[in-house]
């Protein structure tokens, strides 16, 4: 992790091992604001939402401010019925008493194995450890790093991003952490993300911003085409900086900062995709409309055949053009162009006469590259970040509960 990550004022962090994971890995995190923070969230659209998602939706629907976020890894508390919701409330109550806060200000997230009862006693035993960790390390990069580590599941590395933004009211800071490596697919993924800022902004404005930002970042990545039960992106704004934003120009700056942090975290998720060796930008341009651009882009980004070709460094453009064809949009095959980085592979629906297979293979050998599809049918475009699909992905998910 870079030592230069910007940490917004008025937040403290902790990460400990409480015993949810068999080894000594950190598995319980706490994000604590010095004062109640305006909150906004985007949750999974999975029809089997986890208990903490159900709990969190009710909190935000009631307009509650949030001051503490407790996140456990190792157990999703999903498909656990009414008892799961009871367990979330019990954990929130104990943390509220410990921190001397009202229970509605406690936000809970979980990630891990689905269908197992939440080990409430184990988590509650960790609450004291978290508070002690807060008092020991306070607001520094080490404590932020520990919190980011504690929320990981199959992630290989923690995901942290931060940015400072100059507004007419002064400098504001945004800090984000996330987890996610598998089950990555819109709408969102098996991912949790928390973006914190020291600005003061109205809840309705923050909620609208976050929805737009998620649509341009976390909902434009794909590792394996699966959507989880626990996906949550939470934004908190505590106003500690003293900057209260209301002008259109300042709010645009805030949204740009949110988007930068979200895109940085989304990129890290794809790069850390389970078994991934490639980060590939799929860009569709020249579409007749926005819906067509998105459909074609996602068809390519989610294709197992395309993704395995990326892993094998096989410049098999036939798999790409097949995905374009089955995306379900009206197009003229004789107009379609495809490029790997700057190498034109397909021109007007046919192999480009100047294309050399070794040139395409050279692009695919790189750890990061782009695939551009020009439909030449309009002005709309869409971009998705995707990864390759590898032997290691199968191994990781075959042994996930072992």
Tell me the pLDDT tens digit for each residue of 326-378: 999 999 999 999 999 999 999 999 999 999 999 999 999 999 999 999 999 99
Instruction: Write down the CATH superfamily of domain 279-398.
Output: ArgJ beta chain, C-terminal domain (3.10.20.340)
- pLDDT tens-digit map of 287-335: 999 999 999 999 999 999 999 999 999 999 999 999 999 999 999 999 9
Say what the pTM is: 0.89
DSSP E strands: which ranges in 146-250? 159-167, 170-179, 192-197, 221-222, 232-237
Q: What is the pLDDT of residues 240-272, one digit of tens each?
A: 999 999 999 999 999 999 999 999 999 999 888
pLDDT category of residue 223 using cuts at 50, 70 and 90: low
Mean pLDDT of the region 152-169: 93
Active-site residues, by number, are 190
Banded model confidence at residue 44, pLDDT cuts 50, 70, 90:
confident
pLDDT at 156 over 80: yes
Beta bridge partners of 279: 368, 387
Spatial separation of the C-alpha atoms in residues 190 and 217, rounded to whole Å: 15
What residue segments make up the domains of the chain, in order of their start? Answer: 11-271, 279-398
- Checking if the pLDDT of 19 tops 50, the result is yes
Q: What is residue 91's three-state secondary structure?
A: helix
Q: What percent of the chain has pLDDT over 70?
A: 92
Name 85's bridge partners: none
Is the pLDDT score of 167 beyond 90? yes
Model pLDDT, residue 390: 83
Q: How far apart are CA 167 and CA 224, in angstroms?
A: 39
Q: What is the mean pLDDT of residues 219-238?
A: 80
What is the Cα–Cα distance from 7 to 140, expressed in whole angstroms?
Answer: 8
Whether 22 and 37 have beta carbons less than 8 Å apart is answered as no
Domain 11-271 CATH class label: alpha beta
CA-CA distance, 261 to 4, in Å (whole number)? 14
C-beta pairs of 125-128 under 8 Å, 24+ apart in sequence:
125/18, 125/19, 126/16, 126/17, 126/18, 126/19, 126/27, 126/28, 127/70, 127/94, 127/95, 127/98, 128/98
């Amino acid at each position: 992790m870079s030592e230069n990550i910007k940490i917004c004022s008025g937040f403290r962090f902790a990460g400990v091992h409480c015993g949810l994971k068999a080894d000594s890995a950190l598995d319980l995190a706490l994000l604590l604001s010095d004062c109640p923070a305006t909150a906004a969230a985007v949750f999974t659209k999975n029809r089997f939402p986890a208990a903490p998602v159900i709990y969190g939706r009710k909190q935000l629907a009631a307009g509650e401010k949030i001051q503490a976020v407790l996140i456990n890894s190792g157990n999703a508390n999903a498909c656990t019925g009414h008892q799961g919701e009871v367990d979330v409330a019990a954990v929130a109550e104990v943390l509220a008493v410990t921190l001397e806060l009202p229970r509605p200000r406690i936000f809970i997230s979980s990630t891990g194995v689905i269908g197992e009862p939440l080990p409430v006693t184990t988590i509650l035993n960790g609450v004291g450890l978290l508070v002690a960790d807060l008092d020991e390390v306070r607001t520094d990069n080490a404590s932020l790093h520990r919190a980011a580590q504690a929320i990981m599941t199959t992630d290989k590395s923690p995901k942290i991003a931060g940015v400072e933004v100059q507004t007419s009211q002064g400098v504001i800071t945004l800090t984000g952490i996330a987890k996610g490596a598998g089950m990555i697919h819109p709408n969102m993924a098996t991912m949790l993300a928390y973006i914190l800022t020291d600005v003061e902004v109205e809840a309705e404005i923050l909620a609208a911003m976050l929805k737009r930002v998620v649509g341009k970042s976390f909902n434009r990545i794909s590792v394996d085409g699966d959507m989880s039960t626990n996906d949550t992106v939470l934004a908190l704004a505590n106003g500690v900086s003293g900057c209260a934003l209301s002008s259109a120009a300042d709010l645009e700056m805030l949204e740009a900062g949110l988007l930068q942090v979200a895109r940085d975290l989304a990129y890290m998720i794809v790069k850390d995709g389970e078994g991934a060796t490639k980060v590939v930008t799929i860009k569709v341009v020249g579409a007749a409309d926005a819906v067509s651009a998105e459909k074609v882009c996602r068809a390519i980004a989610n294709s197992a055949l395309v993704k395995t070709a990326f892993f094998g460094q096989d410049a098999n453009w036939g798999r790409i053009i097949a995905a374009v064809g089955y995306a379900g949009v009206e197009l003229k095959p004789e107009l379609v162009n495809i490029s790997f980085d700057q190498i034109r592979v397909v021109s007007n629906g046919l192999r480009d006469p100047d294309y050399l297979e070794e040139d395409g293979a050279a692009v695919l050998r790189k750890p990061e590259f782009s695939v551009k599809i020009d439909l030449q049918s309009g002005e709309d475009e869409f971009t998705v970040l995707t990864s390759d699909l590898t032997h290691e992905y199968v191994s990781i998910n075959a042994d996930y509960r072992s």
